[in-house]
Structure 1
């Protein structure tokens, strides 16, 4: 049985992306052409457009389509910008399709980004809290999108670097698996 991935991709945009208020047209156009099935093992290609996280490597997952679409829209990527994709092969391909220059970080050490001065940084895996090295890699005006998760529900969070510091806001709930080594630090709660 063969899968019509082009039809699945269009259905994903129409039923999961647009219905989640992802209205950025260049982003929708990129999501319609980037092959999600190309960044997962062939044995899991049939899951590429499901409303679920898909494991693409041991301990690494793609965000569900709705969540990656919303996170990318909040980051406001624009052609000509530079981006860093941390454990985010699908988001990297979408950003490249939108005309950004993308550096991919998906090896052993995700805590040390290559270079600095990025306009956009995105991770498809959840973390307990955004690592300082990631926020320091942002240019002035740069945006980081990551899901911070310390319990059963995570919060998609956008960081923006300004000349006088770093702004942070949560934008929606999300529940992707936590990247290995990036769980919440144990502590006390009051």
Structure 2
């Protein structure tokens, strides 16, 4: 499908009305951003037709663009505020990073796959210049620019990586899908205080695990 097709613009609005708003996503800023950001630009050209389906869209051999409703709920749970500094881990081609930038945040996008990072950097330069892409090991986070007010892990993890917890500011939040071995996955929001990181389940969710974070050090809570 031609990425400039008006059908894709219509599909974007249907996505918001049939997938995002029905799951109690009510923040008008998130709804506006998801209506405006062309999700089809962030997937391979031969998958543009399924960019707005309620599925994760494959980006590379082992990585996907998360389902729209899960991204939307994670963003709403995190309550992103304009002017905050955010780190997106496993940013892929940058869709979630661009959404956060459209919400007024200064965003650093970390991606381990150089090809995905190059594409994400190009898209961000065009659609959200407040996003800066860096390439590096996902499990290490990006300490050079820490601390962050918000960290979004763009996919599912078995455990919360210790390195990322240490890069949050006091009062900062970490949002992701936590899917422990043998248990049900859930969207979680972890808040950092002087007592450490405290995670709370927000909603049931299952989305593909991020392979690069499967062996990440464990954080107990």
TM-score (norm 2): 0.79
Q: CA deviation at 1:152?
A: 6.5
Which sections of structure 1, spanning at least 5 residues, go unmatched? 186-190
Does residue 166 of structure 1 match 2:193? no
RMSD: 1.7
Q: CA deviation at 1:148?
A: 1.2
- Deviation string 1:42-81 (CA, Å, 9 cap, x unpaired) is 1111111100011112211111111110010000001111
- Deviation string 1:23-54 (CA, Å, 9 cap, x unpaired) is 11111111111111111111111111100011
Counterpart in the other structure of 1:113: 141
TM-score (norm 1): 0.91
Does residue 139 of structure 1 match 2:191? no
Q: In 2, Cα distance between the equivalents of 1:163 and 1:141?
A: 9
Does residue 156 of structure 1 match 2:187? yes
Does residue 11 of structure 1 match 2:35? no
Partners of 1:143 and 1:159 within 8 A in 2? yes
Moved more, 3-12 or 59-68: 3-12
Q: In 1, Cα distance between the equivalents of 2:79 and 2:88?
A: 15
Q: In 1, Cα distance between the equivalents of 2:26 and 2:215?
A: 33
Counterpart in the other structure of 2:105: 100
Which sections of structure 2, spanning at least 5 residues, go unmatched? 114-136, 217-221
The total of aligned residue pairs comes to 185
Runs of 4+ in 1 over 6 A off after TM superposition: none
Counterpart in the other structure of 1:81: 84
Counterpart in the other structure of 1:45: 48
Q: In 1, Cα distance between the equivalents of 2:156 and 2:213?
A: 8
Does residue 27 of structure 1 match 2:58? no
Q: In 2, Cα distance between the equivalents of 1:120 and 1:63?
A: 18
Q: In 2, Cα distance between the equivalents of 1:81 and 1:10?
A: 28
Q: In 1, Cα distance between the equivalents of 2:60 and 2:182?
A: 23
Q: CA deviation at 1:153?
A: 3.3
Q: In 2, Cα distance between the equivalents of 1:118 and 1:39?
A: 25
